[in-house]
Structure 1
Amino acid sequence: MPQQSATRAPADEPEDLLRLEHQVCFALHSASRAFGGVYREALRDLDLTYPQYLAMLTLWEHGELPVKRMGELLRLDSGTLSPLLKRLDAAGLVQRTRNPDDERSVIVRLTSSGSALRTRAERVPAAIAAATGLDLREMQALHGMLARLTERLDAAGAPAAAE
């Protein structure tokens, strides 16, 4: 019978579950960081960061939005989203105005420059897809799995969030 390595436990031993390489969360974290590098390069010509790109995507898709709704769509709190929108505003891509019906609410809308940037951004998804090396079916399957995982994790975390 072969001798087990002192540094590797057999797969059925509990401590094996604590290996970094077996953590799904770490695999997602690593993939996210790798995506960040690819997006950094793909977005360089647009002079956008990845979070700014996501904010622009929501506006290109939905038109003007209250900051609160953008935060919900992007899964960002106002403390993160507000400075990001301030930088997009300073760059002339968006305009933020108080809602005349509710002064507490801020509406974000694209400027003409922000709308025009969409045409240049249309190449980004293809560049990202090419970098993954996945075909369309694999990308769709991965997207579906991640969406289901997010739903399940949100549901699992819901009781704790309500406390």
Structure 2
Amino acid sequence: MTRDVPPEVLASRLGYLLKHAYLRLTEESARALAPHGIDGRELAVLAVLDAHDELSQLEAAGKLGVDRTTMVALIDALEGKELVERRRSPHDRRKNIVRLTSSGRERLRDAELARQEMERRFLAPLSSTDAGCFVRALQSLVGTPANADQASDSA
């Protein structure tokens, strides 16, 4: 796919470059995840749920930085695909605990491999050293610890 070269006046503007890099990344992510029947936001939900033993919908929403309504829609979609299940918390019946199903764990594993390969291809124009520096620089800008998992929600 041929990409248009940015107008010279915009070629060094951070906002322009970040926006277009993000748009390209989301396109690549959508293509990589499509065979797995999920999108980048759904993959992020699965990853967060997998990383924690027990999260309520509200707690998961907080970790993902999404509002309650969006989280309900994401969980509804994933539940419809039989990738997650809601259960009442045994400690607080007002809370729904969301957990991955066995299908959800399998889909997460396969989709994560696809995401990692897509990110490797996306960063291929950079040397491995530069790619690592780029990710660490972005982590600094968004306030993520440098040793955090390099997973992105691509959304």
With normalisation by structure 2, the TM-score equals 0.74
Aligned residue type for 1:142: F
Q: Which of 117, 128, 132 pairs up with 2:123?
A: 132
Question: Which protein is richer in helix relative to its size?
Answer: 1
Say if 1:75 and 1:25 are closer, same or farther in 2 by CA, change over 3 A. Answer: farther
Say if 1:142 and 1:104 are closer, same or farther in 2 by CA, change over 3 A. Answer: farther
Q: CA RMSD in A?
A: 2.3
Equivalent position SS for 1:96:
strand
Unaligned runs of 5+ in 1: 1-7, 9-18, 153-163
Question: What's the CA shift for 1:110?
Answer: 0.5
- Structure 2 equivalent of residue 105 of structure 1: 95
Q: Please give the per-residue CA displacement for 1:74-119, whole angstroms capped at 9, x wherever unaligned.
A: 2212122210111000100000123232233221100111112233
Say if 1:90 and 1:149 are closer, same or farther in 2 by CA, change over 3 A. Answer: same
Query: Partners in 2 of 1:128 and 1:67 — Cα distance?
Result: 28
Q: Percent identity?
A: 25
Q: Which of 77, 82, 87 pairs up with 2:77?
A: 87
Unaligned runs of 5+ in 2: 1-7, 145-155
With normalisation by structure 1, the TM-score equals 0.71
- Structure 2 equivalent of residue 44 of structure 1: 34
Query: Partners in 1 of 2:11 and 2:39 — Cα distance?
Result: 29
Say if 1:66 and 1:35 are closer, same or farther in 2 by CA, change over 3 A. Answer: same
> How many residues matched?
135
- For the Cα contact (< 8 Å) 2:43–2:108, is it kept in 1? no
Query: Partners in 2 of 1:63 and 1:120 — Cα distance?
Result: 20
- For the Cα contact (< 8 Å) 2:50–2:105, is it kept in 1? yes
- Structure 1 equivalent of residue 51 of structure 2: 61
- For the Cα contact (< 8 Å) 1:64–1:110, is it kept in 2? no
Query: Partners in 2 of 1:130 and 1:100 — Cα distance?
Result: 44
The higher-RCO structure (CA 8 Å, 6+ apart) is 2
